[in-house]
Amino acid sequence: MTSFDVEDALKLRAGKDFEIASLDPTDTPGFDGGKKKLDNALDELADEIGELQEKLFATARVAADGDRAPSVLVVLQGMDTSGKGGAIRHVFSMFDPQGVDTVGFGSPTEEERKHDFLWRIRKHDPEPGRIVAFDRSHYEDVLIQRVHEWVDEEEIDRRFAAIRDYEKELADGGTRIIKVFFHISKEFQKKNLIERVERPDKHWKYDPADVAERGYWDDYMHAYEDAIRRTDEDHAPWFAIPTDNKRYARLVLALLLLNTLRGLDLDWPEADFDPEAELARLKALD
Protein backbone atom coordinates (compact mmCIF):
# COMPACT_ATOMS: atom_id res chain seq x y z
CA MET A 1 0.00 0.00 0.00
CA THR A 2 1.23 3.48 -0.84
CA SER A 3 2.24 5.74 2.02
CA PHE A 4 -0.36 8.23 0.77
CA ASP A 5 -3.51 7.42 2.74
CA VAL A 6 -6.76 8.74 4.17
CA GLU A 7 -5.00 11.05 6.62
CA ASP A 8 -3.18 12.75 3.75
CA ALA A 9 -6.44 13.24 1.86
CA LEU A 10 -8.14 14.72 4.92
CA LYS A 11 -5.40 17.36 5.15
CA LEU A 12 -6.93 18.91 2.02
CA ARG A 13 -9.96 20.06 4.03
CA ALA A 14 -10.49 23.67 2.98
CA GLY A 15 -12.01 25.20 6.10
CA LYS A 16 -13.50 28.61 6.74
CA ASP A 17 -10.16 30.39 6.27
CA PHE A 18 -9.55 28.87 2.83
CA GLU A 19 -7.35 30.91 0.51
CA ILE A 20 -7.38 29.76 -3.07
CA ALA A 21 -4.04 31.47 -3.73
CA SER A 22 -2.39 29.09 -1.28
CA LEU A 23 -3.38 26.04 -3.37
CA ASP A 24 -0.99 25.28 -6.23
CA PRO A 25 -3.05 23.38 -8.85
CA THR A 26 0.09 21.70 -10.19
CA ASP A 27 1.05 20.25 -6.79
CA THR A 28 0.34 16.78 -5.37
CA PRO A 29 0.48 17.40 -1.59
CA GLY A 30 1.68 14.37 0.35
CA PHE A 31 2.29 12.22 -2.73
CA ASP A 32 5.66 11.50 -4.31
CA GLY A 33 5.46 9.36 -7.43
CA GLY A 34 4.38 9.13 -11.04
CA LYS A 35 1.41 7.88 -13.05
CA LYS A 36 2.00 4.19 -12.38
CA LYS A 37 2.23 4.69 -8.64
CA LEU A 38 -0.97 6.75 -8.64
CA ASP A 39 -2.81 4.13 -10.71
CA ASN A 40 -1.61 1.33 -8.43
CA ALA A 41 -2.64 3.28 -5.33
CA LEU A 42 -6.15 3.75 -6.71
CA ASP A 43 -6.42 0.08 -7.69
CA GLU A 44 -5.45 -0.98 -4.18
CA LEU A 45 -8.53 0.77 -2.77
CA ALA A 46 -11.04 -0.94 -5.05
CA ASP A 47 -11.79 -4.07 -3.01
CA GLU A 48 -12.43 -2.30 0.29
CA ILE A 49 -14.42 0.55 -1.25
CA GLY A 50 -16.52 -1.89 -3.27
CA GLU A 51 -17.27 -4.08 -0.26
CA LEU A 52 -18.24 -1.14 1.93
CA GLN A 53 -20.56 0.24 -0.73
CA GLU A 54 -22.22 -3.16 -1.09
CA LYS A 55 -22.72 -3.31 2.70
CA LEU A 56 -24.32 0.14 2.56
CA PHE A 57 -26.71 -0.95 -0.19
CA ALA A 58 -27.51 -4.24 1.56
CA THR A 59 -28.24 -2.44 4.83
CA ALA A 60 -30.91 -0.36 3.13
CA ARG A 61 -32.43 -3.36 1.34
CA VAL A 62 -33.17 -5.18 4.61
CA ALA A 63 -33.81 -2.20 6.90
CA ALA A 64 -36.84 -2.63 9.14
CA ASP A 65 -39.86 -0.38 8.69
CA GLY A 66 -39.12 2.98 10.25
CA ASP A 67 -35.36 2.53 10.11
CA ARG A 68 -33.32 4.59 7.67
CA ALA A 69 -30.00 3.41 6.32
CA PRO A 70 -27.36 6.09 5.76
CA SER A 71 -26.52 7.51 2.36
CA VAL A 72 -23.67 9.50 0.81
CA LEU A 73 -23.70 12.65 -1.33
CA VAL A 74 -20.59 13.69 -3.25
CA VAL A 75 -20.61 17.26 -4.62
CA LEU A 76 -18.04 17.93 -7.34
CA GLN A 77 -17.33 21.49 -8.43
CA GLY A 78 -14.62 23.01 -10.58
CA MET A 79 -13.94 25.06 -13.67
CA ASP A 80 -14.62 23.61 -17.13
CA THR A 81 -12.26 20.69 -18.00
CA SER A 82 -11.33 20.13 -14.34
CA GLY A 83 -12.08 16.42 -14.67
CA LYS A 84 -15.27 16.00 -12.68
CA GLY A 85 -16.79 13.50 -15.10
CA GLY A 86 -13.54 11.54 -15.42
CA ALA A 87 -13.24 11.31 -11.65
CA ILE A 88 -16.76 9.89 -11.43
CA ARG A 89 -16.03 7.32 -14.15
CA HIS A 90 -12.80 6.11 -12.59
CA VAL A 91 -13.70 6.17 -8.89
CA PHE A 92 -17.34 5.12 -9.13
CA SER A 93 -16.42 2.17 -11.34
CA MET A 94 -15.41 0.50 -8.06
CA PHE A 95 -19.07 0.45 -7.00
CA ASP A 96 -21.99 -1.81 -7.85
CA PRO A 97 -23.97 0.36 -10.32
CA GLN A 98 -27.31 -0.53 -8.74
CA GLY A 99 -26.37 1.40 -5.59
CA VAL A 100 -24.98 4.53 -7.25
CA ASP A 101 -26.47 7.53 -9.07
CA THR A 102 -24.75 10.37 -10.88
CA VAL A 103 -26.49 13.63 -11.72
CA GLY A 104 -25.18 16.42 -13.92
CA PHE A 105 -26.65 19.90 -13.51
CA GLY A 106 -26.41 22.16 -16.54
CA SER A 107 -28.24 25.41 -17.17
CA PRO A 108 -31.71 25.39 -15.60
CA THR A 109 -34.56 24.51 -17.95
CA GLU A 110 -37.51 26.82 -18.49
CA GLU A 111 -39.54 24.74 -16.03
CA GLU A 112 -36.75 24.78 -13.42
CA ARG A 113 -36.49 28.58 -13.61
CA LYS A 114 -40.08 28.82 -12.40
CA HIS A 115 -39.07 27.36 -9.04
CA ASP A 116 -36.59 28.09 -6.26
CA PHE A 117 -33.02 27.16 -7.23
CA LEU A 118 -33.02 24.13 -4.92
CA TRP A 119 -36.17 22.66 -6.47
CA ARG A 120 -34.30 20.77 -9.18
CA ILE A 121 -31.64 19.64 -6.70
CA ARG A 122 -33.96 18.17 -4.09
CA LYS A 123 -35.42 15.74 -6.62
CA HIS A 124 -32.07 13.92 -6.55
CA ASP A 125 -31.47 13.70 -2.79
CA PRO A 126 -29.81 10.36 -1.97
CA GLU A 127 -32.16 7.55 -1.03
CA PRO A 128 -31.14 5.34 1.93
CA GLY A 129 -28.25 3.04 1.08
CA ARG A 130 -27.25 4.90 -2.06
CA ILE A 131 -24.27 6.99 -3.09
CA VAL A 132 -25.06 10.00 -5.30
CA ALA A 133 -22.57 12.18 -7.14
CA PHE A 134 -23.47 15.69 -8.28
CA ASP A 135 -21.40 16.77 -11.31
CA ARG A 136 -21.93 20.46 -10.62
CA SER A 137 -24.61 21.13 -8.08
CA HIS A 138 -26.68 23.65 -6.13
CA TYR A 139 -23.54 25.83 -6.00
CA GLU A 140 -23.81 26.59 -9.72
CA ASP A 141 -26.79 28.84 -9.07
CA VAL A 142 -24.68 30.95 -6.75
CA LEU A 143 -21.34 30.96 -8.56
CA ILE A 144 -22.53 31.82 -12.08
CA GLN A 145 -25.21 34.23 -10.92
CA ARG A 146 -22.69 36.06 -8.77
CA VAL A 147 -19.92 36.22 -11.34
CA HIS A 148 -22.25 37.64 -13.99
CA GLU A 149 -24.09 39.85 -11.49
CA TRP A 150 -27.47 38.48 -12.55
CA VAL A 151 -28.67 38.77 -8.94
CA ASP A 152 -27.71 41.16 -6.14
CA GLU A 153 -25.66 40.31 -3.05
CA GLU A 154 -28.78 40.14 -0.90
CA GLU A 155 -30.03 37.27 -3.03
CA ILE A 156 -26.60 35.61 -2.89
CA ASP A 157 -26.73 35.78 0.90
CA ARG A 158 -30.20 34.21 0.85
CA ARG A 159 -29.00 31.37 -1.35
CA PHE A 160 -26.01 30.64 0.86
CA ALA A 161 -28.32 30.49 3.86
CA ALA A 162 -30.64 28.15 1.94
CA ILE A 163 -27.69 25.92 1.01
CA ARG A 164 -26.52 25.70 4.61
CA ASP A 165 -30.04 24.78 5.74
CA TYR A 166 -30.41 22.24 2.93
CA GLU A 167 -27.13 20.49 3.71
CA LYS A 168 -27.88 20.44 7.43
CA GLU A 169 -31.26 18.89 6.67
CA LEU A 170 -29.60 16.18 4.59
CA ALA A 171 -27.00 15.47 7.28
CA ASP A 172 -29.64 15.30 10.01
CA GLY A 173 -31.50 12.76 7.87
CA GLY A 174 -28.51 10.43 7.68
CA THR A 175 -26.69 11.60 4.56
CA ARG A 176 -22.92 11.97 4.74
CA ILE A 177 -21.75 14.83 2.53
CA ILE A 178 -18.40 15.25 0.79
CA LYS A 179 -17.84 18.45 -1.20
CA VAL A 180 -14.86 18.66 -3.53
CA PHE A 181 -13.42 21.62 -5.41
CA PHE A 182 -11.21 20.46 -8.29
CA HIS A 183 -8.72 23.30 -8.75
CA ILE A 184 -6.93 23.54 -12.11
CA SER A 185 -4.63 26.18 -13.55
CA LYS A 186 -5.53 28.41 -16.51
CA GLU A 187 -2.66 26.84 -18.43
CA PHE A 188 -4.01 23.34 -17.86
CA GLN A 189 -7.52 24.37 -18.89
CA LYS A 190 -6.15 25.91 -22.10
CA LYS A 191 -4.36 22.65 -22.90
CA ASN A 192 -7.55 20.68 -22.32
CA LEU A 193 -9.66 23.01 -24.45
CA ILE A 194 -7.18 22.81 -27.32
CA GLU A 195 -7.23 19.01 -27.09
CA ARG A 196 -11.01 19.01 -27.33
CA VAL A 197 -10.82 20.92 -30.61
CA GLU A 198 -7.89 18.98 -32.07
CA ARG A 199 -9.34 15.52 -31.38
CA PRO A 200 -12.55 14.52 -33.20
CA ASP A 201 -13.41 12.08 -30.41
CA LYS A 202 -13.55 15.01 -27.99
CA HIS A 203 -15.48 17.50 -30.13
CA TRP A 204 -18.67 16.56 -28.28
CA LYS A 205 -17.12 17.88 -25.08
CA TYR A 206 -16.26 21.29 -26.52
CA ASP A 207 -18.53 24.25 -25.94
CA PRO A 208 -17.42 27.62 -27.40
CA ALA A 209 -19.09 29.26 -24.41
CA ASP A 210 -16.35 27.81 -22.20
CA VAL A 211 -13.89 30.26 -23.76
CA ALA A 212 -16.10 33.20 -22.81
CA GLU A 213 -16.44 31.93 -19.23
CA ARG A 214 -12.66 31.65 -19.03
CA GLY A 215 -12.55 35.44 -19.31
CA TYR A 216 -14.12 35.60 -15.83
CA TRP A 217 -11.46 33.36 -14.28
CA ASP A 218 -10.46 35.67 -11.43
CA ASP A 219 -14.09 36.37 -10.60
CA TYR A 220 -14.78 32.64 -10.42
CA MET A 221 -11.81 32.09 -8.15
CA HIS A 222 -13.11 34.75 -5.77
CA ALA A 223 -16.62 33.25 -5.93
CA TYR A 224 -15.35 29.74 -5.20
CA GLU A 225 -13.20 30.93 -2.31
CA ASP A 226 -16.12 32.77 -0.73
CA ALA A 227 -18.56 29.91 -1.28
CA ILE A 228 -16.21 27.43 0.35
CA ARG A 229 -15.57 29.69 3.34
CA ARG A 230 -19.27 30.32 3.91
CA THR A 231 -20.48 26.73 3.58
CA ASP A 232 -17.69 24.54 4.97
CA GLU A 233 -19.14 22.69 7.97
CA ASP A 234 -18.16 19.51 9.81
CA HIS A 235 -21.34 17.86 8.52
CA ALA A 236 -20.67 19.16 4.98
CA PRO A 237 -16.91 19.71 4.60
CA TRP A 238 -15.18 21.13 1.55
CA PHE A 239 -11.96 19.61 0.23
CA ALA A 240 -9.84 21.63 -2.21
CA ILE A 241 -7.81 19.34 -4.45
CA PRO A 242 -5.05 20.43 -6.85
CA THR A 243 -6.17 18.86 -10.12
CA ASP A 244 -3.69 19.53 -12.91
CA ASN A 245 -2.69 15.93 -12.13
CA LYS A 246 -6.07 14.25 -12.58
CA ARG A 247 -4.82 10.88 -11.34
CA TYR A 248 -3.90 12.50 -8.05
CA ALA A 249 -7.34 14.14 -7.78
CA ARG A 250 -9.07 10.79 -8.40
CA LEU A 251 -6.99 9.11 -5.71
CA VAL A 252 -7.86 11.80 -3.17
CA LEU A 253 -11.56 11.51 -4.02
CA ALA A 254 -11.42 7.73 -3.57
CA LEU A 255 -9.74 8.11 -0.18
CA LEU A 256 -12.34 10.63 0.97
CA LEU A 257 -15.07 8.19 -0.01
CA LEU A 258 -13.27 5.36 1.75
CA ASN A 259 -12.98 7.43 4.92
CA THR A 260 -16.69 8.27 4.82
CA LEU A 261 -17.75 4.65 4.26
CA ARG A 262 -15.47 3.42 7.01
CA GLY A 263 -17.02 5.97 9.35
CA LEU A 264 -20.46 4.41 8.86
CA ASP A 265 -19.23 1.30 10.73
CA LEU A 266 -21.09 -0.98 8.34
CA ASP A 267 -21.50 -4.73 8.59
CA TRP A 268 -23.39 -7.31 6.61
CA PRO A 269 -27.04 -7.41 7.75
CA GLU A 270 -28.12 -10.51 9.62
CA ALA A 271 -30.18 -13.06 7.70
CA ASP A 272 -33.91 -13.13 8.36
CA PHE A 273 -33.90 -16.90 7.82
CA ASP A 274 -32.09 -19.92 9.30
CA PRO A 275 -28.96 -20.34 7.11
CA GLU A 276 -28.33 -23.92 8.24
CA ALA A 277 -31.90 -25.00 7.56
CA GLU A 278 -31.91 -23.32 4.15
CA LEU A 279 -28.56 -24.86 3.23
CA ALA A 280 -29.85 -28.32 4.11
CA ARG A 281 -32.96 -27.68 2.05
CA LEU A 282 -30.93 -26.56 -0.95
CA LYS A 283 -28.59 -29.54 -0.80
CA ALA A 284 -31.59 -31.84 -0.80
CA LEU A 285 -32.87 -30.43 -4.10
CA ASP A 286 -32.88 -32.71 -7.14
Q: What is the dihedral of CA 15, 238, 236, 219, to 10 degrees?
A: 90
Within 10 Å of residue 195's Cβ, how many Cβ atoms? 13
Question: Which residues are paired to 133 by β-bridges?
Answer: 74, 102
Domain count, the chain: 1
Residues 6+ apart with CB under 8 A from 49: 94, 95, 254, 257, 258, 261
Position 68, amino acid: R
Biggest alpha carbon distance in the chain?
74
> Is-contact 143 151, C-beta < 8 A?
no
Residue 94 forms part of a structural domain: yes
Residue 267 forms part of a structural domain: yes
pLDDT digits (tens, 9 = 90+) for 155-167: 999 999 999 999 9
Residue 1 forms part of a structural domain: no
Residue 279 forms part of a structural domain: yes
Q: pTM of the prediction?
A: 0.94
Question: Which residues are paired to 175 by β-bridges?
Answer: 71
Q: So what's the pLDDT on residue 1?
A: 42
Please tell me the distance from the alpha carbon of residue 51 to that of residue 56, in angstroms, as a whole number.
9
Mean pLDDT, contiguous 10-residue spans, the chain (286 residues): 84 97 96 93 95 94 76 97 94 92 92 94 96 95 94 96 98 97 96 94 91 94 97 98 97 97 93 93 93
Residue 237 forms part of a structural domain: yes
Question: Which residues are paired to 216 by β-bridges?
Answer: none
> Is-contact 241 181, C-beta < 8 A?
yes
* Strand-strand pairing, 100-104 and 131-135: parallel
Determine the structural domain holding residue 142 and report its residue range. 6-284
CATH number (domain holding residue 222): 3.40.50.300
